Amino acid sequence: MRVENLSGGEKARLLFALMSRDAPHLMILDEPTNHLDIDAREALVTALNAYEGAVVLVSHDPHLIELVADRLLLVADGKVAGFDGDLADYRKLLLERAREARRGGEAKADGPSRKDERRAAAESRAQLAPLRKKAFEAEKALEKLMARKSAITEKLADPKLYEGPADKVTQLQREGGEVDKALAEAESLWLLAHEELEQAQGGA
């Protein structure tokens, strides 16, 4: 009889016979019960349990695995690791993972939507806008006073100033004192405005 004329179950029996003929140390079986009838499956179980070599078995047949496997490997997340337990423990693991996945999905669904997040961000920007404006205006006022202070200092440093009327020198010195006082106040306002903004941003 030609191999091409054999049925699926007959081909499987022939392949098992050819594999075991030379008594190899290792056999790798991928879904070995495909095309086998009940009697052939029972014979396979008996043969595998009597086999003295190592068998790597890949199967979706839980009955076969329970009858012949003495070690289970768990393939998950791109890794292969030994599984401490039996098929019943594996079923429990799958159920627990499914429950965790559902709980994670429910938690995600209960969380804020993108629309809510955009609304919260808009409200935060609206609350911070006055503080940002206050800090910006305080900074501009400080820069203006610093420029005025620099101009007065430059004039007072010019020797030609002291060759002219004394009252002009006195006026510039008085203006310098006023600017120094205004600078101290502006610096305080600038620091306060930035502190308020930072606190608001931290609580937003």
Task: Write the DSSP assignment of 138-178 as a string of letters.
Answer: HHHHHHHHHHHHHHHHHHHT-GGGGGS-HHHHHHHHHHHHH
Report the predicted TM-score, pTM, of the whole model to 2 decimal places: 0.40
pLDDT at 20 over 50: yes
Position 106 scores a pLDDT of 57
CATH topology of domain 114-203: Helix Hairpins (1.10.287)
Position 72 scores a pLDDT of 87
Confidence band (pLDDT; 50, 70, 90) for 1? very low
pLDDT at 176 over 80: yes
Mean pLDDT calculated for residue range 111-130: 72
HSE-CB at 29 with a 13 A cutoff on CA atoms is 28
Position 110 scores a pLDDT of 56
Distance CA 190, CA 192 (A): 5
Phi and psi angles of residue 112, each rounded to the nearest 5 degrees, phi first: -65, 140
What's the DSSP call for residue 112?
P
Helix (H, G, I), strand (E, B) or coil at 8: helix
What's the DSSP call for residue 125?
H
Looking at per-residue pLDDT, the higher value among 107 and 56 belongs to: 56
% of the chain with per-residue pLDDT over 70: 89
Position 64 scores a pLDDT of 86
CATH H-level superfamily of 3-110 = P-loop containing nucleotide triphosphate hydrolases (3.40.50.300)
Task: Burial-class residue 169 by CB neighbours within 10 Å (0-12, 13-18, 19+).
Answer: middle
Tens digit of each residue's pLDDT (9 = 90 or more) over 58-116: 888 888 888 888 888 888 888 888 888 888 888 888 888 777 877 766 555 555 667 77
Mean pLDDT calculated for residue range 17-35: 80
User: CATH 3.40.50.300: which residues of the chain?
Assistant: 3-110
Query: What is the average pLDDT value for the chain, to the nearest integer?
Result: 80
User: CATH 1.10.287.380: which residues of the chain?
Assistant: 114-203
Mean pLDDT calculated for residue range 132-152: 87
Pairing of strands 79-83, 54-58: unpaired
Could you tell me how far CA 163 lies from the centroid of its own chain? Answer: 73
Looking at per-residue pLDDT, the higher value among 23 and 4 belongs to: 23
Which token pair is 174? 């008085």
Q: Measure CA of the first residue to CA of the last residue in the chain; give whole Å.
A: 82
